Amino acid sequence: MPKSAAAAMARDLRFTSPLEYARALRQAHEATISGRPDPSIAPALVTSWQRSLALGIDPDRHRPIHRHDVGEARQLGAHHRLAVVMPALSQLLADETTDGRHLLIVTDHSGEVLWRIGSRHARKQADSLEFVEGADWSESGVGTNAISEALVTGTAAQLFSAEHLVRTHHDWACTAAPIRDPFTGDVLGVLDVSGPIESVTPDSLRMVRCGVRLAEEMLKSAGAAVAGSAPSRTRAIPVAKATGAGRTLILRILGDKPTAEVDGGSPLSLTLRRAEILAMLASRSSGWSADELAYELYGEDGAAASVRTEMHRIRGLLGNVVEPNPYRFTADVRVVTDASMVAAHLRAGRVAAALAAYPAKLLTRSANFAIELMRDELNEAVGASVRASGEADLILRWCSTDMGAADSSSAAVVERVVGAGDPRAQLLRARMARLDRELRA
C-alpha cells in the first residue's frame, strides 16, 4: 500500500480509535525527527518543526517560556480587549464540571496564555506541561502546537498527539483559531480547546470556529456602540450548556426583529410567537409542559395543541432542537441569547460592556405577560447597575438610549454627579418634565 494511502487510513482513526492513531503518529514523529519524513506528518507541520528546532526547541524536555507569572497574566487579561467576550466563550466552550476533560484557553496576539478555564483535574494535567497563564505558547515559546499554527497561518488548526513537536504534548489534542479585530482584521488572540487525545471529537473544530465567530461579533457590537454608531444585532451569550460537543443555537431576542442561527449558519427570521417560545425555553432549563406554555402564551383559553403546532414549526425551521415532555432544549444543543450576554456582564460587574451589548429591550413588540416580566427585569437591572456605577458619562449614555430615556432616577443621579447647573443635567431635567406632563395629559 502506498505511504500516502496508509497515512489517509491512519487519519481516519483519529476519532474512531484515537489511541491507535496516536501510536501511528508517534512512529511517524520518531522517523521524521530522525531525518526520514513520514507522510503521516503534514509537510506544513514538518516545516514548523524545522523552524522550532532552529529556535532551540528541545523535543524531549522543552518547557514553555513564561512571559509573566500567573497573577500578572490574569491582570493583563482583565484589561485586555478580549475580556469582554470571555463570559460568552466560557459558557459556550468551557467544561468546569468535576469530570470535565478539556480546557478553554485564550491567548493574546503573541500566544501568551491569558485565560485558562476548566475542571480542577484538567488544570492539574495542564500544570505538568506548564500550560498556565503567562506561558508563551507560540512557536518560539514551546514549539509546534495548535495555538502556534493558528498564529502562523492565520487560520484554524487542530493538532493531535505526536503532531506536536514536543514529546510531552503527545497525550494531548488541541484545536485553535485566531480571533481578529472586526474593524482592522488584526489578530487579537487565539481561542484554543485542549485536552487528552480521547477528548477531541469531530465537532471540536466546528465549535472553536463558532466561538471565534461569536467573539468577533461581540467585539464588533461593543465597538459600534462605543463609537456611537447604529448597534449591531449580532450580540449573543450562551445561557444553557450541554455536556460534550453538540450543536449551537444563537437567539437574538433584543429588539423587534428576532432571529436564530444554527451552527453558525445564516440568520433565520422568527415570528414573534416562536421567538417568545424560544425565549421562554431559554429562561428555564427544567422546561415547560404543553399546558404551562399554552397558559403563558394564550391565557386561560390556550390549548396545548396550539403549542404542539408551534413546536412542530420550530423544528421544521431549526431542526430537532427541542424535546417534549417537558418542552426544553435537547441535551446536545448549546443555546446562546443576546439578552443573557447583558446579564452575564452585569453579574461580572462590567457595566459598560453590558450597556454596549444592550441595543434594545427584549422582544419589544411582545405583549405577552411572561415576556414583559423578563423584559422589565433586564431593563431595570441595567438601569440600576448604571446608576450604581456613579459614572456620569455612562449614565448619560444610558439616558440617551430608548431603554433609559424615561429613567428619572438616573437623571437625578446625573444631576448629583455633575451638578444642577451642568447643561447635560438641565437637558435631562427638561426631558423628564416633558414626560411628566405627557403622563398627566
Residue 344 CB burial class (10 angstroms; 0-12, 13-18, ≥19): buried
Domains identified in the chain and CATH numbers: 59-225 (3.30.450.40), 235-384 (1.10.10.10), 390-441 (no CATH)
The cell for 438 is 405627557
The pLDDT score that the predictor gives to residue 236 is 37
Spatial distance between the Cα atoms of 246 and 243, rounded to a whole number of angstroms: 8
Mean per-residue pLDDT pooled into runs of 10, the chain (441 residues): 47 64 78 77 85 87 86 89 90 86 94 94 92 93 93 92 88 93 91 90 86 89 53 38 60 94 86 95 89 89 89 91 91 87 84 88 94 91 86 83 80 71 69 70 63
Contacts of 416 (CB under 8 A, 6+ apart): none
The pLDDT score that the predictor gives to residue 127 is 93
The pLDDT score that the predictor gives to residue 365 is 94
The pLDDT score that the predictor gives to residue 230 is 38
The conformational region for residue 102 under phi > 0 = left, psi -120 to 50 = alpha, else beta, is: beta
DSSP conformation letters of 99-126: T---EEEEEETTSBEEEEE--HHHHHHH
The pLDDT score that the predictor gives to residue 17 is 67
The pLDDT score that the predictor gives to residue 13 is 67
The pLDDT score that the predictor gives to residue 92 is 85
Spatial distance between the Cα atoms of 239 and 250, rounded to a whole number of angstroms: 10
Please tell me what DSSP assigns to residue 230: P
The pLDDT score that the predictor gives to residue 14 is 62
What b/e readout covers 33-68, taking b as 16+ CB neighbours within 10 angstroms?
beeeebbbbeeebbebbebbeeeebebeebebbbbb
The pLDDT score that the predictor gives to residue 246 is 62
The pLDDT score that the predictor gives to residue 321 is 92
The cell for 282 is 431559554
